[in-house]
Amino acid sequence: MPVPNRYVIVGASHAGLEALRAIRMQDAEGSLAMITRDDALPYSPTVLPYVVSGRSAPERVALKDEAWFAEQKAQLLRGRTVTAVEATANQLRLDDGSLIGYERLLLATGAAPQLPPIPGLRGVKFHVLRRLDDAIGLHAALPSVKQAVVLGAGLIGMHAAENLAKAGVQVTLVELQPRVLAGYFDADAAAIIESAFSDRGVRLLLGRRAAGVAADGAGIRLQLDDGSELTAGLLLVATGVAPAMECIADSGIATDRGILVDERMQTSVGNVWAAGDVAQARDFYGTDAGARIINGILPDAVEQGRIAGQAMAGDPALRPYPGGVPLNTYTFFGQQAVSVGRQDIGETVLREADRARYLKIVMQQDQLTGIFGINAPFDPGIMWELILRRIDLGPLRAAFLADPQTVARRIMSRSWR
């Protein structure tokens, strides 16, 4: 048994990297190893649609390079998959059979595409978009593709559809829900987005389910639940992701839909933490203190990663995780959509919508619970703080509704400048 590392981090995306930084703020020397299944340097899954489109060159998306790891006195093990966490022995078993010991472990393994139960899917060639190799493969396939079907109108699917369309591909988007980006926007907002896609020739088939798929020459043939059929040279399945936690199957670490963690990102096993898309953590809005959600968004992965790193290194400055707030930014065809918070808690106190602009504000009593805009300027980071700090907007309510960006900046200047 080799000398165990003081810290081991599995996963090299935002949560893992931020944890590494937080550990090094507190402990400059303790041995640290980061394990990633990718051969590539650390990258963000969020950038992958831009690799597909060619906007981002694969060699320029690395979040950190080897020199950075050397500077951090951290060992980066690339192209290695953890097959098992042996928590009682405080060690990891890797795909090459080797063992790595740890004193403190962070699981930041992220999420993996969740494939829908479509008959015939396993028998056809299709793409997913979660790893850099996926994006590079998709990008390489573009020149020969004339028609594409994208399953799923979540962020990955939408980004991919847009980028395929911009590359000249005839795209059909199939979504089970009656609107796009249902998790983030209401029907009015979605309508603005949908029309932008329709205007650029993307065909949207909403409220439809794929009933079966079969190979068709080099491409595929897809049956929908209304009996219609689509043929395409390329099928992209973007119907969602699920926490990547196969490796902890027999570890004794408690899971639900993801790995359950407390407000310090600690799992049910004392020296194991989890953060990012794999973690199921406190819900900011949860009325039940035990309510746990998978928030699955990048800025929250950063927050969780930092908290986990601080906890692992014993940083006294740690402030417990306040709970996940849904957040997103989404740009499409040069337009900006931003959502901060929840639509379904409290009441809608402002709603402005036309074809080009949309703004909705949701409040509970005098506290902000959500703000959603398309082409409506406001600072999402400030709004997030307003929600987390439960700022009383009562005295400024009217002004805030009239000009949320300016008034929120005034509150920021007074409260945390």
Q: Among all chains, which residue has been given the structure tokens 């799992």?
A: 267
Task: Please provide the DSSP assignment of 23-76 as one string.
Answer: HHHH-SSS-EEEE-S-SSPP--GGGHHHHHHTSS-GGG--SS-HHHHHHTT-EE
- Residue of the chain from 2, 3, 59, 60 that contacts another protein (CB under 8 A): 60
Q: Is 417 in the site for another protein (CB under 8 A)?
A: yes
For position 406 contacting another protein by CB under 8 A, the verdict is yes
Binding-site string for another protein from residue 205 to residue 234, where x marks contact by CB under 8 A and - marks none:
------------------------------
Helices (H), 91-206: 132-141, 155-166, 187-199
Segment lying near another protein (by CB under 8 A), choices 87-95, 179-187, 265-273, 335-343: 335-343
329 binds another protein (CB under 8 A): yes
Exposure class string for 166-188: b at 16+ Cβ within 10 A, else e:
ebebbbbbbbbeebbbbebbbeb
For the chain, what's the residue count?
417
Contacts of 43 (CB under 8 A, 6+ apart): 13, 61, 62, 63, 132
Based on the shown chain and the rule CB under 8 A, indicate whether residue 146 belongs to the binding site for another protein.
no
The structure tokens 């396993």 sit at 122
Does 38 sit near another protein (CB under 8 A)? no
Task: Tell me which amino acid residue 85 is.
Answer: V
Q: Which amino acid is at 404?
A: P
* Segment lying near another protein (by CB under 8 A), choices 43-51, 184-192, 237-245, 308-316: 43-51
Question: Which CB, 149 or 383, lies closer to another protein?
Answer: 383
The answer to the question of residue 171 lying near another protein (CB under 8 A) is no
Candidate list 14, 127, 221, 342; residue touching another protein; CB under 8 A? 14
State yes or no: residue 23 binds another protein (CB under 8 A).
no
Per CB under 8 A, does 116 bind another protein?
A: no
How much of the chain is in helix, strand and coil states, percent to nearest 5? Answer: 30, 30, 40
| Count of residues engaged in binding another protein, rule: CB under 8 A | 46
Is residue 338 at the binding interface for another protein, with CB under 8 A as the rule? yes
Residues near another protein (CB under 8 A) are: 14, 17-18, 21, 25, 43-47, 50, 55-56, 60-63, 298-299, 302, 306, 327, 329-331, 334, 336, 338, 340, 377, 379-382, 384-385, 405-406, 408-410, 412-414, 416-417
